[in-house]
Chain A
Amino acid sequence: MKLSVLHSLFDAAALSALAPLMALAIGALLVLLAGLTPLSKAARGLLVAASLVFAGVLNARILLAEQVPGVVLDGVFVADRATAMWGLIFIAGVAVAWLFSRNYYDEDSSHQNEHDVLLLATAVGMSMMAGARDLIVFFIGLELLSIPLYALAAFRRNRAKSVEAGLKYFLLGAFAAGFFLYGAALVYAASGTLSLDVFADPAQRAKVLESPMALVGVAMLAASVFFKVSVFPFHVWVPDVYEGSPTPVTGLMATGTKAAAFAFLLNALLALPTSSATSVALIALITMAVGNLGALLQQDVKRMLAYSGIAHAGVVLLAIAGAVGGDPQPHGALQAALFYMAAYVATAGGAFGVLALLESDGERMTTLDGLRGLGQRRPYLAAALTVFMLSLGGIPATGGFLGKYLVFSVAVRAEMIPAAIVGVLLSVIALGYYLRVIIAMWMQAPNEDSPLASTKPIAFSARLASTACVALVLLMGLLPRWFLEHM
Chain B
Amino acid sequence: MHYDLLLLTFLPLAAAFAIAFTPKGAEALQRYLALGATLVVAVLGVRLFIGFGAEGTPVERYLFDAPWFALPSSYGAPTQVRFKLGLDGVSLLMVTLTAVLMPIVILSTWGHVHKRVKEFMVWMLVMQTGMLGTFLALDLVLFYFFWEISLIPLYFLIGIWGGERRLYATIKFFLYTLAGSLVMMIAIISILWTRGTSDVFELINVLCRAPLEEQLWLFAAFALAFGIKVPLLPFHTWLPDAHTEAPTSGSVVLAGVLLKMGTYGLVRFCIHMLPGAAIAAAPVMMALGAIGILYGALLAWAQDDLKRLIACSSVSHLGYVVLGLFALTPAGINGGMLQMVNHGISTGLLFLLVGMIYERRHSRALDAFGGVAVAMPIFALFWVITTLSSVGLPGLNGFVGEYLILYGSFQASPLWSIVGLSGVIFGAIYMLMATRRMLFGALDKPENRELGDLGAREVGLLLPLVVLVVWLGVSPNTFLSKTQPDLEQINVRLAEARRALLASADSTTHPSAEPLQEQSR
Taking a contact as CB atoms under 8 Å apart, the answer to whether A390 and B152 are in contact is yes
Q: How far is the CB of A234 from the nearest CB of chain B, in Å?
A: 28
Q: Which residues of A contact B185 (CB under 8 A)?
A: 405, 408, 424
Q: Does A294 contact B (CB under 8 A)?
A: no
Taking a contact as CB atoms under 8 Å apart, the answer to whether B167 and A396 are in contact is no
Q: Which residues of B contact A480 (CB under 8 A)?
A: 69
Taking a contact as CB atoms under 8 Å apart, the answer to whether A421 and B71 are in contact is no
> What is the CA–CA distance of A431 and B189 in the complex, to the nearest angstrom?
21
Q: Does B201 contact A (CB under 8 A)?
A: no
Given A431-B175, A480-B69, are A417 and B156 neighbors across the interface (CB < 8 Å)? Answer: no
> What is the CA–CA distance of A409 and B144 in the complex, to the nearest angstrom?
15
Taking a contact as CB atoms under 8 Å apart, the answer to whether B182 and A396 are in contact is no
Taking a contact as CB atoms under 8 Å apart, the answer to whether B70 and A481 are in contact is yes
Taking a contact as CB atoms under 8 Å apart, the answer to whether A432 and B171 are in contact is yes
Mask, B137-162, CB within 8 Å of A = 1, is 00000001100110110011001100
Of the listed stretches A24-32, A435-443, A453-461, name the one at the interface; the rest are far from the partner chain.
A435-443
Q: Which residues of B contact A432 (CB under 8 A)?
A: 171, 175
Taking a contact as CB atoms under 8 Å apart, the answer to whether A427 and B182 are in contact is yes
Q: Is the interface of B mostly helix, strand, loop or mixed?
A: helix
Q: Does B459 contact A (CB under 8 A)?
A: no
Taking a contact as CB atoms under 8 Å apart, the answer to whether B152 and A395 are in contact is yes
> What is the CA–CA distance of A362 and B389 in the complex, to the nearest angstrom?
63
> What is the CA–CA distance of A425 and B166 in the complex, to the nearest angstrom?
24
- Nearest residue in A to B176 (C-beta to C-beta)? A428
- Nearest residue in A to B186 (C-beta to C-beta)? A420
Taking a contact as CB atoms under 8 Å apart, the answer to whether A431 and B186 are in contact is no
Q: Does A413 contact B (CB under 8 A)?
A: yes
Q: Does A12 contact B (CB under 8 A)?
A: no
Taking a contact as CB atoms under 8 Å apart, the answer to whether A428 and B145 are in contact is no
Q: How far is the CB of A222 from the nearest CB of chain B, in Å?
A: 28
Q: Does A248 contact B (CB under 8 A)?
A: no
Q: How large is the interface on A (under 10, 10 to 19, 20 to 34, 35 or more residues)?
A: 35 or more
> What is the CA–CA distance of A390 and B175 in the complex, to the nearest angstrom?
13
> What is the CA–CA distance of A438 and B74 in the complex, to the nearest angstrom?
39
- Nearest residue in A to B162 (C-beta to C-beta)? A443
Q: Which residues of A contact B148 (CB under 8 A)?
A: 395-396, 401
Q: Does A183 contact B (CB under 8 A)?
A: no
> What is the CA–CA distance of A485 and B68 in the complex, to the nearest angstrom?
12
Q: Which residues of B contact A406 (CB under 8 A)?
A: 71
**Which of A397, A409, A425, A444 has the most CB atoms of chain B within a 10 A radius of its CB?**
A409
Taking a contact as CB atoms under 8 Å apart, the answer to whether A409 and B179 are in contact is no
Q: Does B174 contact A (CB under 8 A)?
A: yes
- Nearest residue in A to B150 (C-beta to C-beta)? A396
Taking a contact as CB atoms under 8 Å apart, the answer to whether A408 and B155 are in contact is no
> What is the CA–CA distance of A438 and B152 in the complex, to the nearest angstrom?
11
Q: How far is the CB of A117 from the nearest CB of chain B, in Å?
A: 40
Taking a contact as CB atoms under 8 Å apart, the answer to whether A435 and B144 are in contact is no
Taking a contact as CB atoms under 8 Å apart, the answer to whether A329 and B72 are in contact is yes
Q: Does A236 contact B (CB under 8 A)?
A: no
Q: Which residues of A contact B183 (CB under 8 A)?
A: 421, 424-425
Q: Does B489 contact A (CB under 8 A)?
A: no
Q: Does A216 contact B (CB under 8 A)?
A: no
> What is the CA–CA distance of A438 and B174 in the complex, to the nearest angstrom?
13
Taking a contact as CB atoms under 8 Å apart, the answer to whether A442 and B159 are in contact is yes
Q: Does B462 contact A (CB under 8 A)?
A: no
Given A425-B179, A428-B175, A435-B174, are A412 and B156 neighbors across the interface (CB < 8 Å)? Answer: no
> What is the CA–CA distance of A484 and B166 in the complex, to the nearest angstrom?
40
> What is the CA–CA distance of A466 and B106 in the complex, to the nearest angstrom?
33
Partner of A408 from the list B144, B149, B171, B189 (CB cut-off 8 Å) is: B189
Taking a contact as CB atoms under 8 Å apart, the answer to whether B189 and A412 are in contact is yes
Q: How far is the CB of B68 from the nearest CB of chain A, in Å?
A: 7
Q: Which residues of A contact B190 (CB under 8 A)?
A: 412, 417
Q: Which residues of A contact B175 (CB under 8 A)?
A: 428, 431-432, 435
Partner of A431 from the list B145, B156, B174 (CB cut-off 8 Å) is: B174
Residues of chain B having any CB pair with chain A under 8 Å: 68-72, 74, 144-145, 148-149, 151-152, 155-156, 159-160, 166-167, 170-171, 174-175, 178-179, 182-183, 185-186, 189-190, 192-193
Closest 7 CB pairs of A and B: A424-B182, A443-B159, A481-B69, A396-B145, A329-B72, A412-B189, A428-B179
Residues of chain A having any CB pair with chain B under 8 Å: 328-329, 332, 335, 390, 395-397, 401, 405-406, 408-409, 412-413, 417, 420-421, 424-425, 427-428, 431-432, 435-436, 438-439, 442-444, 479-481, 484-485
A sample of 5 more A-B contacts (CB under 8 A), given A431-B174, A443-B167, is A395-B149, A397-B145, A409-B193, A413-B72, A425-B182
A-B contact pairs, 25 of them (CB 8 A): A335-B72, A395-B148, A395-B152, A397-B149, A406-B71, A408-B186, A409-B71, A412-B189, A412-B190, A413-B74, A424-B182, A424-B183, A424-B185, A425-B179, A425-B183, A427-B182, A428-B182, A431-B175, A439-B167, A439-B171, A443-B156, A443-B159, A443-B167, A444-B167, A481-B69
